[in-house]
Chain A
Amino acid sequence: MPRWGMVIDLLKCIGCYGCQTSCKAENATPPGVTLARVEVTEVGTYPNVTRVNLPLLCMQCNNPPCEQVCPTKATQQREDGIVYVDEEKCIGCKYCMIACPYGARYFVEEKRGYFGDQGLTPYEEVGYEEQRKGVVLKCDYCRHRIDAGLAKGLTPGVDREATPACVINCMAKARFFGDLDDPNSEVAHLVARAQAFQLNPEFGTNPNTHYLPAGRSIVSTEPPTKPPQKE
């Protein structure tokens, strides 16, 4: 049984929001729901400063707090590590959102499209399924793509069709996907690198989503040798 995992190389990521929007397009998520998202911040003080782009999604924890707190067993973990929400079982208590350390879960308040009172677009009509109202949504590594791909004999992480939408769409090719338990997979090699890390391991969640650091030395300029020129 594989254990699906993702590696996001922060050195390569340019914070383009392509993962966020491609996830939206793939999963037809309603307004305010960004199962994949990007947080852009800066670190340092002028002029020793840099931007940090942090793409986030469900970390697919091996020890998922969301699954533990779910009172209805709507949140479950598959044997391949994917944590998903059975929308039929979810009652929308949002306890999982409280428990998730990564802000990876979203509550769908109402069936409302991006154009509000102007009604749903044809795309939204098709994409927003009725049972989604009042439940919590989360990233499940596009398990529909993985499962359909596997059924066709494809390899997730290698074949586009069987790979999460955000991964195949990443313009900087900063995202990698595959079986962490397969020592020959690309992700297993990347995770084996010394710099690879999980987000906040102190939470005890042991995510299957790993990161490579944006790490590089940041160089700045000194102050000017002469005061600015006066006309």
Chain B
Amino acid sequence: METAPQSVWRWKIAAYLFLAGTGAGAVIVGILGDFAGYVIPAKIAIAFGVPAVAFSTLFLIMDLGRPTKFFRAMLHPGTSWISRGFFIVSALIISGGFVTILWVWPFGSVLGSREGVRTALEAITFIFAVATCIYTGILIGIVVSRPFWNNPLLPVLFLISAVSTGIGGVFFITPIVGSVMGIGSSETATFLTHLESADMILLVFEGIAIYLYLTLVFDRAPEAVGLLLKGKLSGLFWGGLLGAGLLVPVVIEFFAWMTHEGSSQSLAPLIAGVFLLFGGFLMRLLILAAGIRSPLNVRTPFRVRPGF
């Protein structure tokens, strides 16, 4: 009968992968923004990203059979990517937490002019943010018997998507925070305009990456690719991920870029952000769902009697 999607890790894990990616992506964007001099939006991005990562782990814990014993997950870093992830994400939360607390709120004065410390902290946070995006790809990418995942491109795809959804998060959150708190509107607008252009390119890359990915895994995982392209998941894949998650934000960003509209006054980034986030979540969900096991090979020799 019809191939069933992978059903062990479902929406909660997808939500974790998505939120952790988005948060880490926002942190990456924020730190890059800070290095580029967009201080206010960078602060907003980091202040959004770090809690998002922390929040994402709640989904992971919720998915456990025994949530209260989650801390045991750190006991096997020698070989388990969950244990390793535990440390990576914890490190991101801690160092990003310091960045947030010491720079953004409420202890902004503690560091004073010791910018070097902050830069170092941000650099460490940046590394762990990138590591978070990548490790989620390795987490499932190492599973040999699920050929749809078992591909070196997966961490790359996750990283691109994380940055893109991070931008989506920034799109979504920055104008709101900016207008509510009445800070940095022109700086924010310029920042967002740059991000729009960057994200447009990123989304094109993501589209190419998805295409490459499917081509690359097709030989080893035809059932999984079939599941996405024409099976149970095809509606979500074509309409959801490619349509709403990629095409729509690209179009919005393209028109925003064409009209050179001031982004802070425009709803465009906000709307694009919603679609970007939706697309990012769907991508995690679909990649998880398409991760079906290789069929077992029972070596039944099958031959027809000669002469018949």
Q: State if A and B touch, Cβ cutoff 8 Å.
A: yes
Q: Is the CB of A93 within 8 A of B64?
A: yes
Contact among B64, B75, B303 with A73 in the assembled complex (CB-CB below 8 Å): B75
Q: Once bound together, how far apart are the Cα atoms of A152 and B243, in whole Å?
A: 66
Contact among B74, B142, B297, B300 with A71 in the assembled complex (CB-CB below 8 Å): B74
Q: Which of A45-71 contact B (CB under 8 A)?
A: 48, 50, 52, 54, 56, 65, 68-71
Stretch touching chain A among B26-34, B51-59, B76-84, B277-285: B76-84
Contacts A93-B82, A101-B293, A135-B65 known; A213 to B143 CB distance under 8 Å? no
Q: Which of B170-213 contact A (CB under 8 A)?
A: none
- Please, which residues of chain A bring their CB within 8 A of the CB of B302? 43-44, 48, 50, 218
Q: Which of B49-100 contact A (CB under 8 A)?
A: 63-67, 69-70, 72-76, 79-83, 86
Count chain A residues whose beta carbon lies closer than 8 angstroms to a beta carbon of B. 54
Contacts A65-B143, A91-B66 known; A70 to B76 CB distance under 8 Å? yes
Q: Once bound together, how far apart are the Cα atoms of A54 and B140, in whole Å?
A: 27
B105 interface residue per 8 A CB criterion: no
- Please, which residues of chain A bring their CB within 8 A of the CB of B296? 39, 54, 56, 101-102, 199-200
Q: Is the CB of A95 within 8 A of B80?
A: yes
Encoded as 1 (CB less than 8 Å from any A CB) or 0, chain B from 21 to 55 comes to 00000000000000000000000000000000000
Count chain B residues whose beta carbon lies closer than 8 angstroms to a beta carbon of A. 40
A134 interface residue per 8 A CB criterion: yes
Encoded as 1 (CB less than 8 Å from any B CB) or 0, chain A from 194 to 231 comes to 00010110111000000101111111111000000000
Q: Is the CB of A71 within 8 A of B75?
A: yes
Q: Once bound together, how far apart are the Cα atoms of A39 and B298, in whole Å?
A: 11
The interface of chain B, by Cβ under 8 A from chain A, is: 8-9, 63-67, 69-70, 72-76, 79-83, 86, 140, 142-146, 291, 293-294, 296-305, 308
Given contacts A70-B76, A216-B301, 13 further A-B contacts (CB under 8 A): A39-B296, A44-B302, A68-B80, A69-B80, A71-B76, A72-B73, A72-B75, A95-B82, A98-B291, A107-B8, A213-B301, A215-B300, A217-B301
Q: List 30 A-B contacts (CB under 8 A).
A: A39-B296, A48-B302, A48-B304, A54-B296, A69-B79, A69-B80, A69-B82, A73-B75, A73-B76, A90-B65, A91-B64, A91-B67, A91-B73, A92-B65, A93-B63, A93-B82, A95-B80, A95-B81, A98-B9, A101-B293, A102-B296, A136-B65, A199-B297, A203-B144, A213-B299, A213-B301, A215-B300, A218-B304, A220-B305, A222-B308
